[in-house]
Structure 1
């Protein structure tokens, strides 16, 4: 009792005093959405039906995107921008991901080229997906140029692993191995949370490097 009552009392205090009603409603909504993700989509669809606005389209599309329903995300994002790809770069970036996930390489390239000169594109994952799509469309020189931009130290580990594979497949094993060795070296200086987070990709990197 001596041990547990203070803990229980502290918890009650946090719930009743620290959290206000709005915070509790937000936490409750997040729990419900985790248990039943379709509820969020249904609620956002109702909001869109009530008010057909750009933001309501984007909110619904974001919910489809988060749920991995990329086809519906694409359809809803496209309705939001109505062929005006200068309207919102964030939406275009999510369209790039969505089209990439669905294997539509032409549309991936099309969307990427709408923001290719915008700030934040160079070295981004959008540019990397653009490069992968270009390779699929047999535009190899352009592909390599865009893919290489993702090779930034202490970041983009999965993408750099894919880039290393790309170089190896292209007969550029030296370039691929160099990237793999860099990742292995960087992994030795990771914080504990990052070691856990990137454990799988680092293991993949080590396996690929040892096979060369």
Structure 2
């Protein structure tokens, strides 16, 4: 029974790793149809030569039991109540999409000498957006240089501005995510924003560009963005 669970854990990890690293499709068949042997072959040829065994074990454990990492970091914080311990625990909660708990420990980390730490403030921009606290998103986004250091937060900032009725400023910010051959989810949301503002021709231009770019991709990359393409086509042909 123990070997069964180990094998399942290895399969989950290997499939996750193969997907994350865009490995060749035949690996999925090897891992699935030759569970233990296939996983060992995959680990020896695709993983071990890239990272150490300790990291592999940690990732497998996290996939099988995602709360274990959090519990371990909670114990670490009890033993060593430092800025980094709080950040590590907050990061783990963020990875687990437990945004309220992540906010709690990011805010604790800002106490004392680290109240203006830009990386922590940036993480809070993300968390507060996910919890629909748009006032906090705007407050913290204005404390960091999102245009220079944290461009991924421009998207959250722009949508938060829209939610608070600051439409002109929201458009200025969201326009920054409209970069060709990248930012597809963000550009899709920007096009929807333009439609909400009755700027349908501007939205159509972005959607057409996205559709052309994705259609021209290799089959592997195209599959990755199929849902974006489908949504773009739906908006172009209502």
TM-score band by shorter chain is 0.7 to 0.9
1:190 alignment partner in structure 2 = 217
**Equivalent-residue separation in structure 1 for 2:194 and 2:44 (angstroms):** 54
Give the superposition deviation at 1:85.
4.5
Give the superposition deviation at 1:201.
1.2
2:121 alignment partner in structure 1 = 92
Give the superposition deviation at 1:93.
1.8
Query: Residues 185 and 117 of structure 1: is their aligned pair in 2 closer, same or farther, counting only changes over 3 Å?
Result: closer
Give the superposition deviation at 1:95.
0.9
Aligned partner (choices 87, 106, 116) of residue 58 of structure 1: 87
Give the superposition deviation at 1:120.
2.8
- Paired residue total: 197
2:109 alignment partner in structure 1 = 80
**Equivalent-residue separation in structure 1 for 2:146 and 2:152 (angstroms):** 14
**Equivalent-residue separation in structure 1 for 2:44 and 2:156 (angstroms):** 45
**Equivalent-residue separation in structure 2 for 1:209 and 1:14 (angstroms):** 47
Unaligned runs of 5+ in 1: none
SS of equivalent to 1:115: coil
Aligned partner (choices 86, 95, 102) of residue 131 of structure 2: 102
Residue 47 of structure 2 corresponds to residue 47 of structure 1 = no
Q: How does 1:170-209 map to 2 (within 5 A)?
A: 170-209=197-236
Higher relative contact order (CA 8 A, sep 6+): 1
**Equivalent-residue separation in structure 2 for 1:149 and 1:72 (angstroms):** 30
**Equivalent-residue separation in structure 2 for 1:204 and 1:63 (angstroms):** 32
Unaligned runs of 5+ in 2: 1-33
CA contact (8 A) 2:66 2:96 kept: yes
What TM-score results when the alignment is normalised by the length of structure 1? 0.85
Per-residue CA shift, 1:1-36, capped at 9, x if unaligned?
Answer: xxx9xx89x95x949xx67xx932321221111010
**Equivalent-residue separation in structure 1 for 2:147 and 2:175 (angstroms):** 18
Per-residue CA shift, 1:30-51, capped at 9, x if unaligned?
Answer: 1111010000000001011000
**Root-mean-square deviation (Å):** 2.4
Query: Residues 118 and 209 of structure 1: is their aligned pair in 2 closer, same or farther, counting only changes over 3 Å?
Result: closer
What TM-score results when the alignment is normalised by the length of structure 2? 0.76
Give the superposition deviation at 1:82.
1.6
CA contact (8 A) 2:188 2:232 kept: yes
